[in-house]
Homo-oligomer: A and B are copies of this chain.
Amino acid sequence: MILQGVDSRTGPSFSIGNRLARGLWGVVWLLLFRTSPRPFHAWRVALLRLFGAQIGRHFHIHSSCRVWAPWQFKAGDHVGVGEGVNFYNMGPMEIGSNAVISQGAHLCGGTHDYTVANFQLRAMPITVGERAWVCTEAFIGPGVQVPEGCVIGARAVLTKTPEDGDWSVYAGNPAKFIKPRILRG
């Protein structure tokens, strides 16, 4: 997705509508989301839905979490999100059912094209497959698809969709295949 062709170091990259919506969401987040008591998961889900998020049943998200644009955020059922997770979804973002995103993880859906003079901002989609686990403080880069059942280890940095497929464990920076994830029962 290519955004407005402006110099992204000095000018706005997004439409006025997008910026107004984010401004409004920012106020709502600060006043109503960020301040909500710990167990008020349903309240926070309601706020996200009010801004267009499509979220299934039993979605747990903490008040310290950020969602850049709720209207392009989707999540399935029984998803757990730890404290301080940053869903920087400049592009569409989708979290599969039964996935877990642990505290401090950063899913970063924006980058710049550093090969052009105006440093063009690029927004890219991110998906996290069902039953995947993005561990604490892991980083998922723009355009990455975390396959079903994968474990992305603590502090791992995954900037490409892994080719080893689903139900695998990745760790390190850059993240590398460690072993298959085998369920015992």
Contacts and interface: CB of A to CB of B under 8 A. Distances in A.
A183 B108 CA distance: 24
B10 A58 contact: yes
Contact of A115 (B104, B115, B136, B183): B183
A160 to B, nearest CB: 11
Contact of A171 (B58, B171, B174, B183): B174
| A contact face: mostly helix, strand, loop, or mixed | loop
A139 B60 CA distance: 25
Interface of A: 9-10, 58, 60, 78-80, 98, 100, 104, 106, 108, 112, 114-117, 119, 133, 136-137, 139, 141, 151, 153-157, 159, 169, 171-174, 181-185
Nearest to A110: B136
A159 B182 contact: no
Contacts of A60: 9-10
A26 to B, nearest CB: 8
B173 A157 contact: yes
